């Protein structure tokens, strides 16, 4: 188990371009698995539910890991997320960004924020359209207490590979247009296409840790 985890981590690191960093998505896996991967040299971990993440973070406090929140962010969870996470990938409205900003200032934190965009119709997911983003862009940039550093997107589940490539390229182009360095895109099944299109964060769960043990909100 541990050996295959190490082998998968090494293979992912050999296969990816150095511009696309590996975000190890540990939701659904216990703290012990995170510790194994951290000991290989992995520093960035992603979680999508606060209740699941906090006890794990507590147990791993000695490792000084960098935690990324990648799940749907409910407004009543903004405070614990701002306190416990360094990067938030899933801010998908101006009102949510304003709340993150206010709470970050109160808590003397400065999270990196990625704006979740939805560039193709997908009823199962949140995200700003390109038009919505351009409408609120100047307001977003003026918010204190956070750094807007990039965009995050997810391909609709049933989307074909060719379409995914176009979607990821569109997301990269939109980030470039806004002078944003980060593009969080690509998961276990489509990270190669995302990396080729200019992803800077590959959010990889099952291809690293194996199937999730604890039920978790994969649809986020």
Ligand X SMILES: *Cc1c(COP(=O)(O)O)cnc(C)c1O
Contacts to ligand X by CB under 6 A: 25, 27, 48, 70-71, 187-188, 203-207, 218, 220
- Cβ proximity to ligand X: between 93 and 220 the closer is 220
Q: What is the DSSP letter of 146?
A: -
Sign of the CA dihedral with 31 first, then 36, 38, and 42 last: negative
Beta strand pairing status for 44-47 and 21-25? parallel
Smallest separation (angstroms) from ligand X to the CB of 46: 7
Question: CA 78 to CA 83: how far, in whole Å?
Answer: 9
Smallest separation (angstroms) from ligand X to the CB of 220: 4
- Cβ proximity to ligand X: between 145 and 201 the closer is 201
Q: What is the DSSP letter of 75?
A: G
- Cβ proximity to ligand X: between 25 and 97 the closer is 25
**Could you report how far apart the first and last alpha carbons of the chain are, in Å?**
27
Smallest separation (angstroms) from ligand X to the CB of 170: 18
- Cβ proximity to ligand X: between 145 and 186 the closer is 186
In sequence order, the 6+-apart residues with CB closer than 8 A to the CB of 42 are 9, 22, 24
Smallest separation (angstroms) from ligand X to the CB of 212: 7
Copy the structure tokens of residue 20.
């696309």
Smallest separation (angstroms) from ligand X to the CB of 61: 23
- Cβ proximity to ligand X: between 88 and 133 the closer is 88
Q: Please, are residues 184 and 20 in contact by the beta-carbon 8 Å criterion?
A: no
Question: CA 158 to CA 82: how far, in whole Å?
Answer: 33
């Amino acid at each position: 188990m541990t050996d295959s985890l190490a082998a998968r981590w090494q293979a992912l690191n050999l296969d990816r371009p150095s511009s696309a960093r590996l975000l190890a998505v540990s939701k659904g896996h216990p703290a012990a698995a995170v510790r194994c991967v951290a000991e290989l040299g992995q520093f960035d971990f992603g979680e999508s539910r606060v209740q699941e993440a906090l006890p794990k973070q507590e147990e791993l406090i000695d490792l000084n890991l960098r935690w990324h929140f990648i799940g749907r962010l409910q407004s009543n969870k903004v405070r614990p997320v701002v306190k416990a996470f360094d990067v938030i990938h899933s801010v998908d409205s101006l009102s949510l960004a304003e709340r993150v900003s206010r709470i970050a200032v109160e808590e003397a934190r400065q999270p990196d924020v990625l704006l979740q965009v939805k560039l193709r119709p997908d009823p199962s997911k949140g995200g700003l359209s390109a038009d919505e983003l351009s409408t609120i862009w100047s307001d977003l940039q003026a918010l204190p207490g956070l750094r807007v550093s990039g965009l995050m997107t997810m391909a609709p589940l049933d989307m074909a590979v060719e379409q995914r490539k176009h979607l990821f390229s569109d997301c990269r182009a939109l980030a470039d247009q806004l002078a944003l360095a980060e593009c969080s895109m690509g998961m276990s099944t489509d990270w190669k296409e995302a990396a080729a299109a200019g992803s800077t964060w590959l959010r990889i769960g099952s291809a690293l840790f194996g199937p999730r043990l604890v039920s978790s909100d994969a649809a986020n």
